[in-house]
Copies of this chain bind each other. A is one copy, B any other.
């Protein structure tokens, strides 16, 4: 199909598609002449994935780039892909290892992971992500105790077990990989939305009934 058709079917402007190609998010079409190229369904699928990651997941172009690179890398087995994608999602901000607060938080994080017996790589960016939140909480005078974390840990395990259990390994890789990455990012949003709703509900139940 032509780029204009790709544009129509994906809902993205031609210029944006060209931009994504420039940035390496989308492979070029197969050239048929100096000013002509042909695109196929895989381009469309990819574009839809990009759109979902951008619009719903709110990922920066650079992260999407790393994710599609991992998706395209046939050497990565499906079950490693989610981890790979998480590295691309990254901690957002860099850790500051010189800062003693930071180091203390990282030690807390490492201790909690060890305590839980979770198998999380020592250099996983999620450790820094959590440490960052710990630092901020501490600085606001809100220290973290393990019991406070309990419900979050429980919830996280509940969800993760479900998600990893639902991973299909037998489908064709292309599709499975796309599905895995998309669900991971999109269900993150789902979880956030549900938490906020559940909060509103719980608050209504607790406080509105008093009045």
- Inter-chain CA distance A206–B161, complex, in Å, is 10
Pair B191/A195 contact, Cβ less than 8 Å? yes
> Across the two chains, which residue of chain B brings its CB closest to A83?
B200
Known A129-B192, A191-B152; contact A199-B82, beta-carbon cutoff 8 A = yes
Complexed CA–CA distance, A132 and B57 (Å): 10
Tell me, rounded to whole Å, the shortest Cβ–Cβ distance linking A141 to chain B: 8
Complex contact A200–B133 (CB within 8 A): no
User: B-facing mask of A187-211, CB < 8 A → 1, else 0?
Assistant: 1111111111111111111111000
Look across to chain B and name the residue whose beta carbon is closest to the beta carbon of A190.
B133
Q: Are A182 and B118 in contact (CB under 8 A)?
A: no
| Interface contact A124-B82, CB-CB below 8 Å | no
Q: Which residues of A contact B (CB under 8 A)?
A: 48-49, 51-52, 55-56, 58, 77, 79-80, 82-83, 86, 89, 92-93, 113, 118-121, 124, 126-127, 129-130, 132-133, 136-137, 139-140, 142, 148-149, 151-166, 178-179, 182-184, 186-208
Given the known inter-chain contacts A82-B203, A119-B205, please indicate yes or no for A137 contacting B192, CB distance below 8 A: no
Q: How far is the CB of A106 from chain B (nearest CB, A)?
A: 12
Report chain B residues within 8 Å CB of A83: 199-200, 203
Question: Which residue of chain B has its CB nearest to the CB of A93?
Answer: B55
How far apart are A200's CB and chain B's nearest CB, in angstroms? 5
Q: Tell me the minimal C-beta distance from A9 to chain B in angstroms.
A: 11
Instruction: Say whether B160 contacts A198, CB under 8 Å.
Output: yes
State whether A133 touches B86 (Cβ < 8 A).
no
Alpha-carbon distance A48/B162, docked complex (angstroms): 37
A87 to chain B, nearest CB (A): 10
Q: CA–CA, A193 to B135, complex, Å?
A: 14
Contact indicator A195/B156 (Cβ below 8 Å): yes
A202's partner among B129, B161, B195, B207 (CB-CB below 8 A) is B161
Are A130 and B86 in contact, CB atoms less than 8 angstroms apart? no
Given the interface pairs A56-B136, A58-B92, A201-B160, the reply to whether A194 lies near B121 with Cβ below 8 Å is no
